Structure 1
Amino acid sequence: MSASAHLEHAAELVAQACRIVALTGAGFSRPSGIPDFRSPDGLWAKSDPSEVASLRSFRRNPDHFYAWLNGLLDPILTAQPNPAHLALAELEAAGKLNAIVTQNIDGLHQQAGSRRVFELHGHLRSATCPDCDRQVPTKPLLPNIRSGRAPRCNCGGTFKPDVVLFDEILPPGIFWLAHQAIEQCDLLIVAGTALEVAPVCDLPLFATRRGTKVIIVNFEPTYLDPMASVILRADVASAIPALARAALYEAVGS
């Protein structure tokens, strides 16, 4: 089957569905200039995640953690939604997309206009002191971070960004809502994720076990490929908008 035939089939599935959920990963924001993690030139090709992005390493050496994070700040804080983010927001506005479940911490789905977004790995909008639970906006902490100093709380603790590090559990409430959304959807779009990080990688199984159709948009194979209805090996920034345009045109014309 040709690439255009795959796209046409995927568009038909989107046009027929009423409760779509999109599960997105780091590859979804790569066209916005934010590096992903697991590609050959991704972040984990340069750094050991257990040494720079784990709760254990944060507690042991928060300055080292913030030195690593500082290199990501500008790409994340200056990034703009790419066409894939905008296309999902368009599908939501049209009543086709019910929710976005994302592993990304960049907030680009919300910037694009999406409203129901479950951020499984947290976000950079705020930080919390683990010693006293004081939560503050991240913006006032940026001067400290950019100067290479871990931001300190008045109690003497170190503020930690409200992102989920290795060794941490996902926010139970957010994970439950994401699980419910995926379990109840009638089409799941998995885009820009290799599905290698637990427990997020298991979420699509709650859809496939019910016979829900799955569209995968990802350059590399995933464990879910044998269970997918359609696989698009394409850049999300071109495939998702094309899918949305085709699906919305078909829905209007039907």
Structure 2
Amino acid sequence: MNFHDIIYKKEKGIATIAINRPEVMNAFRAETIHEMISAFEDAWIDREIGVVVVTGTGEKAFCTGGDQKSKDMGGYSGTSRSDIGLDVEDLHMIIRRIPKPVIAAVNGYAIGGGHVIHVVCDLTIASEKAIFGQVGPKFGSVDPGFGTAYLARVVGEKKAREIWYLCKQYTATEAEKMGLVNKVVPHEKLLEETYQWCEEILDKSPTALKVAKYSINADSSNIEGISQLGMSALALYYDTLESKEGYESFLQKRPANFRKFRKRKN
């Protein structure tokens, strides 16, 4: 399989999907999402694969969400089934539906849509250099599905609201304390530890793991419907001047002026 935006490899029962756009902090575009979905589909049908690892290349970032340079007022450019121009909803769903554990190995910044990807994964192992956070409300965007509703189940509603309302960034240690990651390790030991977890998983019954994953997922399966509704609303939001102010402020490297949108319209 030939990929441009990701590196995909399979070895000894482990499939590794690495976002390979370090020049933009591993931000994703439509092509990136399509390639990740294709890799997950391949890992799904390969009976030799028992666990999937998601990570990023380079030393700085796991993934920093949607590439704002590929976004305009109506959403992201590129071929997509989604009205927002990115099939991120499909990516989230295949991570949840693949009957094999998915581990996020977070090597650096996990921000915005990249943060959502790690949240949706079954397990997260983080480098001590990893940084976590959401930025959508700063730049005219939001994840109205698993990135919000499921995040609240992971860290609790109060903390989820803090993460989204204030758009702060959190260290790996802080993330571990709130239950956002399973383990923090020295940066140079990240993949070693991740693959050790994979080896332990490969020793377990694949059918039992599948049933356990689907059983755990069942409690939050209603979020899929929320995500479909929310993504439809997000597409409408991207067509507003309010959202435009957000992404233009990012491109122009200036603070966004959202206060003007609090005024009543005559």
TM-score by length of 1: 0.31
Pick 1 or 2: higher relative contact order, CA cutoff 8 A, min separation 6.
Answer: 1
Structure of greater Rg: 1
